[in-house]
Amino acid sequence: MQQLTGALGLGADVVVNPSGGPLAGDPMMVSGLIRIGEAFRQIIPSKRGRVLITSFASNIHRMQQAIDVAVNYGRKVILCGKSIVSNAQIALNLGYLQIPQGTWLRLEDLKDLRDNEVVIITTGSQGEPMSVLSRIATDDHKIIKIKEGDTVKCPQSIVDVPAGDALLGRVVDGLGSPIDGKGPIVASE
Residue 155: what pLDDT? 60
Contacts of 125 (CB under 8 A, 6+ apart): 19, 54, 55, 56, 133, 154, 155, 157, 158
Region class of 188: left (phi > 0), else alpha (psi between -120 and 50), else beta: beta
Contacts of 188 (CB under 8 A, 6+ apart): 15, 16, 17, 35, 36, 39, 42, 43, 153
Residue 42: what pLDDT? 83
Residues in the chain: 189
Residue 134: what pLDDT? 78
102 burial via Cβ count (<10 Å: 0-12, 13-18, 19+): exposed
Average pLDDT per run of 10 along the chain, which is 189 residues long? Answer: 46 47 43 67 85 87 93 96 94 96 96 95 73 80 84 61 49 49 35
Closest CA to 119 of 172, 8, 45: 45
**Is pTM, for the whole model, over 0.85?**
no
Residue 26: what pLDDT? 44
